[in-house]
Amino acid sequence: MSQQADSATFTGGCHCGAVRYEVVGDTLTAATCHCRDCQYASGGAPAHALLFAPQALRVVQGQAQEYTYQGDSGNTVVRSFCPACGTPLFGHTAGQDYVIVKVGSLDDPGRFRSQMTLWAGSAPAWHHIDRSVPTYEGKAAG
C-alpha cells in the first residue's frame, strides 16, 4: 500500500460473509505485531494490522462479537470477530485513539505494507522479523 498516509476507502469482512465493514479515512500506520496475544488470535502467526481513527470504521452488515481481556500493557483490549466463522476483524485498546483493522479481513490485503514491527522479542524463532522497518522488541518470549 504505497499511499498509506492518504485518505482511502477499504472494505472487508469475514470468511462466511456474515459481517462486512468499510473504513474511510487516513491510515495512521500499518504494523506487524508478534506479541503472544496476536499469536493466539492468528493461530500462531504475527498479526498484520492497519490503524485508523475510530470514526473511520463502519460495520455495514451483521454484527461482530467481542472478546475483552487485560493486555500486557495493563490496558483493556477488545478483539472483534465474526460470531459465525471466527474471522478476526478489528479491535481497539482502552485509552488509545485508534481502531485496529486486521489485514486478513480486507477484501484486498495486498494493499498492506508494514511500516513497523511490534513485540519482536515475543516472536518464536521461526517468525520472519522485517528489520527493514522500525522494530520494537517489547517483551521477550517466555
pLDDT in tens, 103-135: 999 999 999 999 999 999 999 999 999 999 999
pLDDT of 5 above 70: no
Q: What is the pTM of this model?
A: 0.86
Residue 123 CB neighbours (<10 A): 24
pLDDT of 141 above 90: no
3-state secondary structure (DSSP) of residue 55: helix
Residue 24 CB neighbours (<10 A): 14
pLDDT tens for each residue of 45-93: 999 999 999 999 999 999 999 999 998 778 899 999 999 999 999 999 9
Task: Give backbone dihedrals phi and psi of 108, rounded to 5 degrees, phi first.
Answer: -125, 80
pLDDT of residue 138: 83
Contact 47, 41 (CB under 8 A): yes
Farthest CA pair distance, the chain: 40
The class (CATH top level) of 9-122 is mainly beta
Q: Please tell me the distance from the alpha carbon of residue 91 to that of residue 41, in angstroms, as a whole number.
A: 11
Contact 82, 18 (CB under 8 A): yes
pLDDT of 142 above 70: no
Cell triple for residue 76? Answer: 483493556
Q: Please tell me the distance from the alpha carbon of residue 61 to that of residue 13, in angstroms, as a whole number.
A: 9
22: enclosing H helix or E strand: strand 20-33
**Neighbouring C-alpha atoms within 13 Å toward the C-beta of 29:** 11
Cα Rg, the chain, nearest whole Å: 14
Contacts of 7 (CB under 8 A, 6+ apart): 24, 25, 26
pLDDT of 98 above 90: yes
Q: Could you tell me the residue ranges of all domains in the chain?
A: 9-122
pLDDT tens for each residue of 27-50: 999 999 999 989 998 999 999 999
